Structure 1
Amino acid sequence: MANRWFLYISELAQKAQQEVTRTPENWQKFLTTASRFYKSYDFDDQLLIYIQRPDAVACADIETWNNKMHRWVNAGSNAIGLIRKGTGGRPYIQNVHDVSDTHRVKGGKDPWLWRMEEAYHAPVMERLAKAFGIPEGGDLGECLMEAASKVSEEHYGEYLRDLHYEVEDSFLEGLDDHNIEVIFRDTIKASVQYAVLTRCGLDASSISTQTICGALRTLTTWAPWPAWALPPPKPTAPF
């Protein structure tokens, strides 16, 4: 049973990568889910959460729900499987549940899920202006767009090096290093901006669909799943 569950989740991981990069709309839907899990779960986990429970808002394992939050997991609820690397590099599945799959018992607590209220706009804009040198005069959405742009510009190079190893037999093959860098930088920038605006409950329609299409071209090139997390190849007939 455990082995079948692992194979299912591993295959689902590959399906998730293909699904989110199929259309700009799918990528935007993924970013909406991922924006709720920016602190606790990495990109691989976000893909698996999205493909299994796109409406999830707060996930944790059963021990956390029971012991820290004093919430019981509802009978019959479906777990969300995440791939983990265990002792000796052997992969296994960690099951987590969304808060909607749980209920409070005595002493139970609700997870704190922040929301961007109108009253917070001014102090948040002031903090962003100081942290990122953003000129005054815009609204919160403009401040967030500028801050996301600056953060993306500062950090995209940390991941660009890995992309250069994946361009063979892809849409990016044949492009020079400069064009690959521009596509990747714009992908990161547009994706971060969309996720931040969406998480803050603001209109993200200003993010160009053209740029999102560039994101799909990049992401169909870059497979995030390491070999140890993928199912073994199916045997082929010897004739």
Structure 2
Amino acid sequence: MPSKLEIYMERADAATPRLTEDYRIWTEFLVTVGRVYKHEFLEQAMVFAQRPDTMACAEYDLCKKRIRRYVWQGTTGIGLVSYSGSEPYVRFVFDVTDTGAKKGTLYPDWQYGRKHEPSVTAALESRFEVPGRDGIVKQLVRIAVQLAEERWDNYREDILSAAEGSFLEELDELNISLAFQRLAAASSAYTLMARCGLGPKKYFEPQDFRDIPNFNTVPVITQLGQTVSEACGQVLRRIEAVMKNPPAREPADRENAVRPQPKVQGNPKPQEAKAQENHIGQKSAPQRAWKNPPLFPFLLRRNSRSKLRLIRQATPCIWMAFCIKSTALACLTCICWTPPRRIRRSGLNQKSALPLYFFSNRPLAKIRNSDKMGG
């Protein structure tokens, strides 16, 4: 019975030749390369063979400790054959769609937008010395051509030896060089545009990948795939660094920026308008007007000084209301209260006389006589 390593090595050997059977399969593979650009070419080929719709993948320990995402129970990982150690071994990675977010999680993905074009083009220009004044699309194409030429200059002998046994063997060295650089540059530019969401199908035609059938052996496909993977990895890592750590604005820009002026209700007077024009760019306290002032406005503020100032302003009103209430109670007491001595002289019980006196306008003598006569 074959081991797990042997099974996945057979899958890897079978997945590589299928990539160049048709240019449509190759372009679909390039989209996957742009998503998992942090992996090597053979691992990217195995990811495409098992999960072509993978967005971003990482190992279990990386998901749990660094990215802080948990893997759903019952999820099957993507098996990859790694040659980083002394002997090959199988390791499993998990797609981000198969994980859940924890508190403080990090989503291992970034999205490029038109608002990021100035900073991205400047970063790529400083890294690869390719100007971006004509737009990011042309800049990415020029960078892809430059990296393909450098790859041919550095690995020319390896590429020529890998071309033996393929359809490229019938060509001379010049045509092999042209075919390799042309296909590598087109594939790298397609991958970069697909990852940045620039719509590569608008810029590329099937004729741009006409050399695909000539790369029909595993060694020459590996050389082409490694060229595209390493070139795209350099560019996309640089773009990722800019996206996650945008450059700070220059101090001069902050000083020259016009500060927003506070809103003033109604039309200002000519003198006020002139004063506002003379003080543009200077700090001024914002003027906030309450349309419907709340009952306790100091509760809506967080500044303790503002609270104390508002309390001092509200203290006279509260004191005036207290005085009015006290005066009203005193007057009511004087009107309704009957002295105990007067009640005793009248010959009435204090408990029975008070209610009668409160709700009757008759004098106490009449109340006494009516009480003796039985009403």
For 2:34 and 2:173, the matched residues in 1 are separated by: 30
The structure 1 segments of at least 4 consecutive aligned residues displaced by more than 6 Å after TM superposition are none
1:12 aligns with 2:8: no
1:162-198 alpha-carbon deviations (Å, 9 max, x no partner): 1211233210112111111111111111111100111
Report the secondary structure of 2:25's partner residue: helix
Amino acid at match of 2:148: S
Q: How big is the shift at 1:118?
A: 1.4
* 8 A Cα contact 1:187 1:218, kept in partner: no
Task: Give the counterpart of 1:66 among 64, 67, 73.
Answer: 64
Task: Give the counterpart of 1:78 among 72, 76, 79.
Answer: 76
User: Equivalent residue for 1:213?
Assistant: 210
Q: How big is the shift at 1:219?
A: 5.4
* 8 A Cα contact 2:58 2:95, kept in partner: yes
Give the structure, 1 or 2, with the largest relative contact order (CA under 8 Å, sep 6 or more): 1
For 2:10 and 2:25, the matched residues in 1 are separated by: 19
Alignment CA distance shift 1:93-1:56 (3 Å): same
User: Equivalent residue for 1:27?
Assistant: 26
Task: Give the counterpart of 1:111 among 104, 107, 110.
Answer: 107
Q: How big is the shift at 1:144?
A: 1.7
Report the secondary structure of 1:81's partner residue: strand
* 8 A Cα contact 1:160 1:184, kept in partner: no
Amino acid at match of 2:23: P
Q: How big is the shift at 1:98?
A: 1.0
For 2:204 and 2:31, the matched residues in 1 are separated by: 13
Alignment CA distance shift 1:62-1:112 (3 Å): closer
Q: How big is the shift at 1:52?
A: 1.0
The structure where strand makes up a greater share of residues is 1
For 2:213 and 2:107, the matched residues in 1 are separated by: 34
Q: Calculate the TM-score normalised by the size of structure 2.
A: 0.54
Alignment CA distance shift 1:149-1:219 (3 Å): farther
Alignment CA distance shift 1:134-1:86 (3 Å): closer
Report the secondary structure of 1:97's partner residue: strand
Report the secondary structure of 2:97's partner residue: helix
Q: Calculate the TM-score normalised by the size of structure 1.
A: 0.82
Amino acid at match of 1:113: D
* 8 A Cα contact 2:152 2:177, kept in partner: no
1:179 aligns with 2:170: no
For 1:185 and 1:152, the matched residues in 2 are separated by: 5
For 1:200 and 1:47, the matched residues in 2 are separated by: 21
Alignment CA distance shift 1:141-1:97 (3 Å): same
Q: How big is the shift at 1:103?
A: 1.4
User: Equivalent residue for 1:196?
Assistant: 192
Task: Give the counterpart of 2:98 among 94, 98, 101.
Answer: 101
For 2:147 and 2:162, the matched residues in 1 are separated by: 24
Q: How big is the shift at 1:220?
A: 3.6
Q: How big is the shift at 1:35?
A: 0.8
Q: How big is the shift at 1:95?
A: 0.8
Q: How big is the shift at 1:17?
A: 0.9
Report the secondary structure of 1:116's partner residue: coil
For 2:72 and 2:97, the matched residues in 1 are separated by: 9
Alignment CA distance shift 1:79-1:43 (3 Å): same
Amino acid at match of 2:18: E
For 1:135 and 1:96, the matched residues in 2 are separated by: 36
* 8 A Cα contact 1:156 1:188, kept in partner: no
For 1:123 and 1:69, the matched residues in 2 are separated by: 26
Alignment CA distance shift 1:188-1:219 (3 Å): farther
* 8 A Cα contact 1:132 1:150, kept in partner: no
Question: How high is the sequence identity, in percent, across the aligned residues?
Answer: 28
Q: How big is the shift at 1:132?
A: 2.7
* 8 A Cα contact 1:31 1:195, kept in partner: yes
For 1:191 and 1:197, the matched residues in 2 are separated by: 10
Report the secondary structure of 2:170's partner residue: coil
User: Equivalent residue for 1:149?
Assistant: 145
1:73-92 alpha-carbon deviations (Å, 9 max, x no partner): 112211111112376x4321
Alignment CA distance shift 1:46-1:159 (3 Å): farther
Q: How big is the shift at 1:55?
A: 1.3
For 1:23 and 1:49, the matched residues in 2 are separated by: 18
| Aligned length in residues | 220
1:28-65 alpha-carbon deviations (Å, 9 max, x no partner): 00000001222x21111111111111111221111111
For 1:37 and 1:160, the matched residues in 2 are separated by: 27
